[in-house]
Amino acid sequence: MEKYDVIVVGAGPAGSTCASVTAIGGLSTLVLERDSYPGENKVCGGGLRAGLLDAFFVDKCVIEHEVRHITFFGSDGDYAKIDLLTSLGATVDRKKFDNWLAERAVKEGAELRTKTQVESIIMEGGKARGVVAKDLSTGKVYKAFGDVIVGADGIGSLVSGQAGFNHTLNEKNTALCFERDFVLPSSDINLLVGDSFEMYFDASRVPEGFGWVFPKKNVLTVGVGSLMSKMNLNIKDHFNLFLQDERVKKKIAGAKPLEPKSHTIYFGKPFDRIVKNNIILTGSAAGLVGPFLGEGIYYAMRSGELAGKQIVEANFSDTTLRPYEEKIKNEFYPFLNYALTLRKLLFKNENYNKFIKVLNMSGTVRKSFISHILKTSTPNLFERLILRIWLI
């Protein structure tokens, strides 16, 4: 019988970060990933917030492009370019980034099995005791036992569903995204986009959502995401409308488009419960994505880290895993809730264009906004900034 202290389902940023921590903590850790290698099928802008590289000791070899600004473009032609302040942001190629994180977990002592799909959770006496997994190369189905099961299997998590968390995804809390890379010489990328995450808000092209242009080494990653209940076309048509925006059009003129990809992202309220019966949810499986900018990599890694630490401390009992839930609620939920408020207020052209004007009013306003995004200011300070939108 195969028996581990911890079984992690999914080798994304949440799973691999968690596995590194539990392996360093001396726990036998098995990571199961259905893709041939971590990151193989990721659809993602690959934008890393300022500070993430340092916080998680990420090697600069995985960086595609250094980023120092975020530029918000409105529907009226105006824009606000904001300095990321203290530390560097970056873009990464998720194929390389996720693989690097998983390799680090393996170096720390975790065991990684790729091409392995978890099919169900084994429950005994109301507790999770292991998983049923399928080796996708041979078709062999087998059981692996573990004292704690970590759900790091992304949006629509099988682990969450099997554990009965009842985290319903529907068209009112889920956005559909469509993304395509455009190949360009790096000199053109530097000239056209430079060191900025570009975010475009124009509800006539992308309702209740946004478009983005992120610079990488040799590609511009261009995408749109729109709340499913507000889409009036299919997502590909919203993407094509976005490409008609003159500011975007001129950036990709003459560039070679690669295969388009589509994926969903959670855009709703933070979940109530993320720990249950020796199962602990992390990252997107726990709904940890900012519903204003769609940022999830930082939340995935930080929640993976907190989950790993809690498991090492907990001695595998459900009640001693529970403080993880409180830590996530205290650390993230005020910001996720404000991101939701922001989305509701600002994803309307008139308000969004006002928001850009407010950002352009003063350096203090820009600083307090970016501090909020980087989670260093309190929501109260940020709330005052939002109020100013209605005062001009």
- Residue 115, amino acid: K
Residue 203 Cβ vs ligand FAD, minimum distance, rounded to whole Å: 19
What's the closest the beta carbon of residue 350 comes to ligand FAD, in angstroms?
A: 26
Q: How far is the CB of 389 from ligand FAD (least distance, A)?
A: 25
Min dist. Cβ of residue 162 to ligand FAD (A)? 10
Q: Could you say which residues in the range 145-184 bind ligand FAD, by CB under 6 A?
A: 152-154, 158, 177, 179
The residue (of 121 and 358) whose beta carbon lies closer to ligand FAD is: 121
For residue 70, the minimal CB distance to ligand FAD (Å) is: 11
CB of 76 to ligand FAD, least distance (A): 25
**Can you say whether the dihedral through the CA atoms of 380, 382, 384, 389 is positive or negative?**
negative
Q: Which residues inside 280-319 make contact with ligand FAD, applying CB under 6 A? A: 283-285, 289, 294-298, 300
Among 8, 21, 23, 33, binds ligand FAD (CB under 6 A): 33
Residues 186-245 that bind ligand FAD (CB under 6 A): 223
Q: Does residue 325 touch ligand FAD according to CB under 6 A?
A: no
Q: Work out which of 5, 23, 47, 374 binds ligand FAD, going by CB under 6 A.
A: 47
Q: Work out whether 45 is an interface residue with ligand FAD (CB under 6 A).
A: yes
Residues of this chain that interact with ligand FAD (CB under 6 A) are 9-15, 32-35, 38, 43-47, 117-118, 152-154, 158, 177, 179, 223, 263, 265, 283-285, 289, 294-298, 300
